[in-house]
Structures are given as structure tokens and as C-alpha cells.
Amino acid sequence: MIQGADFFCIHFSIFLFRNRNKLAEHWLNVGCELTNYCNCADLDASGQVNVTDLALLLANWLGMADCNGNGIVDSEDIASGFSKDCNGNYVPDECDIASGFSQDTNGNGIPDECEPPILPGMAFIPGGSFQMGDSFAPEGYDNELPVHTVTLDSFYMSTCETTNQQYGDYLNSAYPGQIKVDGGIVYAFDDSSKSYPYCSTSSAPISYPNYGECSQIDYSSGIFSVKQKNGRDMTADPVVLVSWYGAVAYCNWRSQQEGYQECYNLSTWECDSSKHGYRLATEAEWEYAARGGLSGKRFPWGDTINHNYANYQANGNAWSYDTSPFSTYTPHPDWNDGIFPYTSVVGSFAATGYDLHDVSGNVWEWCNDRYSSTYYSSSPPNNPIGAISGSFRVYRGGSWGHSADLCRVAYRGNGDPSLRHYHGGFRVILSFQPDCNGNGIADSVDIASGFSQDINDNGIPDECEIVLEPAGMIWVAIDDPGVYGEGFNGEMSMYETTNAQFCEFLNAALASEDIVVDSNDVLGANGSNDGSDFVGYGYYDLDGPGVTCDGAINGGAARINYNGTWFDVDSGFEGHPVSHVSQRGATAFCNYYGYRLPTTGEWRAVADYDGTFNYGCGPIINNSIANYRGSIHPDGTTVVGSFGDPNGYGYGICDMAGSVWEWTCSQTTHGDQPRPYIIRGGAWFEAANYCTVTHTGYYYPHHSVLGFRACR
């Protein structure tokens, strides 16, 4: 397993390689006598630039790598969890902010580019760990024990409880296609047995279990509307008399309205929490959010309660932590108008640490979990979802009609999911789903829909993974002294660079601002990657035309597209060799990953193997072993590796004869004129004599018509 220090070594090596020219400006010619040119590199003022200076240079760089000053190299800080690296640049967030690389507008220590999106009416709850349960035992109840550590992922929670107006909007939208009204009670349209009531309207029967007299929602002639109570507008008060079924039906409807996935199956009432949509909080999520970042407290704000903090039944004589002046149970005087329910306008009391209102008092809030009194003894430590069986569901938070002890954040209420009461409501949550590829869709949705792949099943789309080289690069180690000239000692790619690999580079370079798109041209730009760029020069022709000849229609056309946000490849051409790449584009690809293009001599040394090969495929050539004129393939190019025995030819290198012309880094000389670059190997439409190991072609570096393979 690669450890943090290994990552540091890898990336430090890449840093040195990519910045070798920059470093050379400061440290040159080991052993040279001091001159104006190398004076700046004599770090120890010894009169010579030597190995000691190099050691000092590295030590200085390593010292700078501990930018937060804790005596640990940054990469180890990140690997150990001491520091976070939300933007994936291998520098701790606090160092990005301190250096000015990132802004931190709200001063919370998170770079602006890593802040979660702001969703109206929703508070972001950052993931973390907390102690769940009653820290004041035996003060509370047995079902609040044992206190145990729970770790949760990040999520959003509605800042306020769902209001009468919000639920009324749902009812009007869902009627009559999704819901029906029978006897003043709302059911699902297809609930013929009337087993799953959603809510009571004001025309429902009075008293238990319907409490129509307490409903703040009227129903008449197919229209739902919010009542007034004693002349007071109730639209912004929390909805009451909603069952658990009615709460989850609202979640699904809201997900529909806002383009999210529906989490609930309304036939089985099961919740798929892996889907990105609105749902009820688990009770672990609810308690974590309600605590607002405080540890071991009774309430979201501290250890005592009175009417300044919440809408509840106060009684200073009943509970030592109820500091109200009342000696009997007393509703909040501001909201007691003599007519149930004594709800308050949502948001009337100060927010908690996570910007949530009314998590204690006002109305009970349904949670997603099935209830078990002993669940805490077997609860998993990470993202618990509640008991796997049980007929009752959990509710939390207390209400306007309940005492201080039931408003504690540790208190666990429960009831039948069909229960509708005049002090019960709910609020919703939305899982936090990063959008790493910036397409406006959560990563999990990209993966679930098939838009993105997730090969290693870590929940991160493949295009968002931090990788050191494109997928599918296979290297062949070669040490060839060269029979007819220059040799090659290193590694060469077994295959020509594919459309998928070059597309991966384009997306990475787009993210690091090392390319820009101008109409149909991909141009170089000076971004954050350390590899050299060719600013303003063409890398790739998105509209590169194909050729209709030799059995191919539009053969060899450009197969990479740009939709204004990211690049993708025409389906079925991912494994074909990329074409319409300029020499600068091929070089930029290599620079980005620390590769290079071979020289013309190196290319020949590999292609002619031991000197007996006249073609990259062997001593002879025919259409069964190479893709050149006469091969007759409908797309011109073929998937890389289609020609060659299972291990390729010679050194195991495929397609060195035919397929696509390959750029080298060697230039010809023509006096003072621009020098074209040498290309090798022939192409699918060329005759056999163009595919020999001795034939050389020429193109200027801006011509976007060819392919390439990399070496290192």
C-alpha cells in the first residue's frame, strides 16, 4: 500500500522532473567556478556550485513543504488526516489559504472552491463524528443508552420545519393524480384500503385519531388552502397532522419538482438512501444536526431551557434545567391563543450552530428510522440507518405541547407511521453529493445513470480521480543499442495514444486551465500544471475531417467532442488511436504526465527490433499483420493492438506499421526556415513503402492530422 510519505516522494519526483528547467536556472553546473550565471545557485557561499548546494536546495524545499509549521511534511499531514486537501492539489487547505492560492471568504478554513453549493432553505451539515445518546445518565431514559460514537457523511437539512404553505403546495400539485381526499383525510390515489393516511384536513373528523379541528389546511372543491387562526396567517407555521407516510410522500414529490431522485418506494415504504433526493433524516443525522456542533449538551444551545430558546410547555419546578419562572406546565405566552395548535412561525427562535431553527420544541419531527429501544447497543458506527424491523417510526425534538425533558436532543420518541397529531410535523434532508466534473449533476447520479464510470467503486467518477497517468497506459521496457544508429533505453507505450487517453488529458488540462477551446480548436494555455505549455498554439482539431477511401467512410476523422463543459469520445471509438493531434498537442500531452516523444532514431531502433525488421510488424508486411492500404476497415483506424500477436511484434509494441502516423520530437533542418518534425510508421491509407522502418515523413508542428505514442 502506498503511504503518505510514498505519495510525497512520488509527487516530489514529479515536481523535480516537471520543473527541471526552472530548477536549472538556480542550480547549474556542479563544480563550476562562480560566475554571474551560477552565483545564485551557490547556496552555501563556498565559491562553487556543488552537491552541498543541491542538498541545501532540497532541504529548503522540504522545509517549505511544512507550510502549517507543525513539523510534519504536508503530504503526511494530509495522509494522516491532520490536514484536509479538498481541492486535490496535495497542499493542505490552510496553506492554500495562507499563500493566497485559495480564498476563504467566510473564514471557516475551507477554500471557496471547496465550499458546498448554497441551497435555498437548506443548511449544510458537515460530516463528522459525535457522541450519540444521553451524556447525563441516569437523568434520561434507558433507550438513550449506551452513549456511542457515530460518524456521518455530510448532508443538507432544511433550516426550518416544513410549513403549512409548503405542504399545501404539495397537496395542490399532487391532486388528483397522486392523492385523493376521503372524509377530509388525504390518501395515496391508489390506496383503496385507506391503510396509509397522509394527513388530516380541517374537514376530517374531530378528536383522535384525525383531529380535524386542529388542522390548518382546508380542502374544498379540489383546492387545498391554509387557514387563518384567530385572524393570524398560518402559512409560515409548521404543518401538523401529517403521518410518516405523508412526510415521505412529500419528500418524493419535492425530489420530482427539483429534479432529484426519489428515495422512497411508496408501495413498500422502503428508503434507498443511496439515491440523491429528499428524505427524512435518520435519527443519528437528526441528533448530530440538532446538537449544532456542541458536544454532550442537553439542548442545541446548551444545558438549560426556557421560553427564550424554544416553544414548549415550561415548568421550572419539574426539571432542574428548566429555568423558566412557571411552577405549572405553561405554553409559550406568545403563541398561546387558546386554540390548538400553539405552533409558532418557523424561525422565530435563534438558530443552532448549524443554522437550524426549532429543532427543540414547536413540533415533533418524523425521522426515517424504524424504532427499537435497544438499537444503541448494536448500532453500527458509520451512517446508521436504524433497526431493520419494527412497526413504529422514530420522531424527535419535542413540541409546543411537551415538557423540557422531551425537548432534549437525546430524547427518542416513537409512534405508528399512520399517527397524525396536532403537535407533529417534519423537516427534510438532502444528501450532500459532490459534483466533481462540474456538469451540474451529483457524482452518484452520474455513476448510477452510466454517464460516468466508477471502475474502483469508490463513489468518485473515473474522470474525477486524481491519477498520475491516463488509464490504459502499458509500458514496455526496452534497451536497444541501435543497429543503424541511435538506440533506445527506456520505456515505450505498447500502443498508440487512444482517443480515450487524449480525451482524459484534455479534461484534466481543461480543469487545470492548461488548454482553452476556441471554436473547433483546442489551444494551449498557461495553467497550473507544471508541464510546459504552448500558449495559443493548436493542440487538437475537433472538426478534423476523415477520408473516404480504401473501404472506409470518413475514416480517421476526429472523434473527440466538446459540449461546452467537458470532452467526450464518440461511442465505439474510445480505443482507436487519436488523430488530428498537432506535434505541440502530442508534446503537451507528454509534458502533462512527465512523458516525452521519441526521437526519430529511437523510434527506428524500437521498430526494427534487432535490425531484421523492415517494417514495425516484422521482415514483411501484409494486411493480416498491419493496418495499411488494402486492409479495408470501415472506420479507417482500428482499435489499438488489433495488429500484432498477443504480445505485439518485436519488443511487444503494436501498430508501428500503419494505423496512424506517429509524431517524433526530431526536426529537420532547412536553413533559417521553420523546421518540420519527422513522422514515422505510415497510416491505414498509405501504401506499404510508407510503412517501412526507414521511411520518414515531415509535418510542421501546427498541423493537426496525426497521432503519436509516448515514451519515458
More confidently predicted of 427 and 443: 427
- The reported pLDDT for the residue numbered 72 is 65
Does residue 226 lie in a domain region? no
Q: CA 564 to CA 566: how far, in whole Å?
A: 6
Residue 62 cell numbers, joined: 522540504
Q: CA 653 to CA 300: how far, in whole Å?
A: 66
Average pLDDT over residues 660-677: 82
Strands (E), 138-255: 148-152, 155-158, 179-182, 185-188, 199-200, 217-220, 223-226, 228-229, 232-233
Q: Please state the φ and ψ torsions of residue 502, each to the nearest 5 degrees.
A: -70, -35
DSSP 98: H
Does residue 136 lie in a domain region? no
486, 599 Cβ separation under 8 angstroms:
yes
Torsion angle, CA of 240/245/251/252, rounded to 10 degrees?
-150
282, 394 Cβ separation under 8 angstroms:
no
228 Cα distance to chain centroid: 45
Q: Residue 470 — very low, low, confident or very high, per pLDDT cuts 50/70/90?
A: confident
- The reported pLDDT for the residue numbered 615 is 94
Average pLDDT over residues 136-162: 95
Average pLDDT over residues 326-351: 97
Q: CA 394 to CA 411: how far, in whole Å?
A: 10
Does residue 57 lie in a domain region? yes
Pairing of strands 228-229, 232-233: antiparallel
C-alpha separations of 77 from 72, 90, 91, 415, 524 in Å: 6, 10, 9, 47, 34
Region for 444 from its dihedrals, namely left if φ exceeds 0, alpha if ψ lies in -120 to 50, beta otherwise: alpha
Does residue 245 lie in a domain region? no
Average pLDDT over residues 318-335: 97
Q: Residue 569 — very low, low, confident or very high, per pLDDT cuts 50/70/90?
A: very high
Q: Residue 103 — very low, low, confident or very high, per pLDDT cuts 50/70/90?
A: confident
- The reported pLDDT for the residue numbered 35 is 36
Range with the lowest mean pLDDT among 198-212, 347-361, 489-503, 659-673? 659-673
Q: Quick one: 242 exposed, middle or buried, by C-beta within 10 A (0-12, 13-18, 19+)?
A: buried
Q: For 187-197, what is each residue's pLDDT tens digit?
A: 999 999 999 99
Instruction: Please name which of 198, 212, 175, 209 lies closest in space to residue 250, comparing C-alpha atoms.
Output: 198
- Pure H helices in 111-229: 164-174
Whether the predicted pLDDT of 489 surpasses 70: yes
Does residue 288 lie in a domain region? no
Query: Which of 114, 148, 173 is where one domain is finished?
Result: 114
Query: Which of 70, 95, 114 is where one domain is finished?
Result: 114
- The reported pLDDT for the residue numbered 674 is 59
Average pLDDT over residues 376-381: 95
Q: CA 284 to CA 709: how far, in whole Å?
A: 53
Secondary structure, 3-state, 504-520: HHHHHHHHCCCEEEECC
Domain enclosing residue 692, as ranges: 475-699
pTM score above 0.85: no
* Three-class DSSP category at 170: helix
Whether the predicted pLDDT of 442 surpasses 70: no
More confidently predicted of 449 and 40: 449
Q: CA 582 to CA 502: how far, in whole Å?
A: 12
Q: Give the chain's mean pLDDT.
A: 86
| Number of separate helices (H) and strands (E) present in the chain | 12, 31
Question: Which amino acid is residue 373, in one-letter code?
Answer: S
Q: For 1-53, what is each residue's pLDDT tens digit?
A: 333 333 334 334 434 433 434 344 444 333 333 333 334 455 445 566 554 45
Question: Which amino acid is residue 258, in one-letter code?
Answer: E
Strands (E), 36-83: 48-49
More confidently predicted of 106 and 330: 330
Secondary structure, 3-state, 362-403: CCEEEEEEECCCCHHHCCCCECCCCECCCCCEEEECCCCCCC
Average pLDDT over residues 375-404: 96
Q: CA 445 to CA 434: how far, in whole Å?
A: 10
Alpha-carbon radius of gyration of the chain: 34
Average pLDDT over residues 649-666: 92
- The reported pLDDT for the residue numbered 62 is 41
Q: CA 352 to CA 347: how far, in whole Å?
A: 11
276, 260 Cβ separation under 8 angstroms:
yes
Q: Residue 508 — very low, low, confident or very high, per pLDDT cuts 50/70/90?
A: confident
Does residue 468 lie in a domain region? no
b/e map of 643-678 (b: 16 or more CB within 10 Å)?
Answer: bbeeebbbbbbbbbbbbbbbbbbbbeeeeeeeebbb
Q: CA 444 to CA 462: how far, in whole Å?
A: 12
Query: Which of 114, 130, 160 is where one domain is finished?
Result: 114
Peptide bond before residue 341 is cis, with ω within 30 degrees of 0: yes
Task: Find the length of the chain.
Answer: 712
Q: Quick one: 205 exposed, middle or buried, by C-beta within 10 A (0-12, 13-18, 19+)?
A: middle
Does residue 52 lie in a domain region? yes
The percentage of residues in the chain with a pLDDT greater than 90, rounded to a whole number, is 65
Average pLDDT over residues 72-77: 61
Strands (E), 221-328: 223-226, 228-229, 232-233, 278-279
CATH (domain of 536) = 3.90.1580.10
Q: Residue 66 — very low, low, confident or very high, per pLDDT cuts 50/70/90?
A: low
Whether the predicted pLDDT of 471 surpasses 90: no
Average pLDDT over residues 469-489: 90
Side-chain half-sphere CA neighbours of 567 within 13 A:
27
Q: Residue 102 — very low, low, confident or very high, per pLDDT cuts 50/70/90?
A: confident
Q: Residue 116 — very low, low, confident or very high, per pLDDT cuts 50/70/90?
A: confident
Tally the domains of the chain. Answer: 2
Does residue 671 lie in a domain region? yes
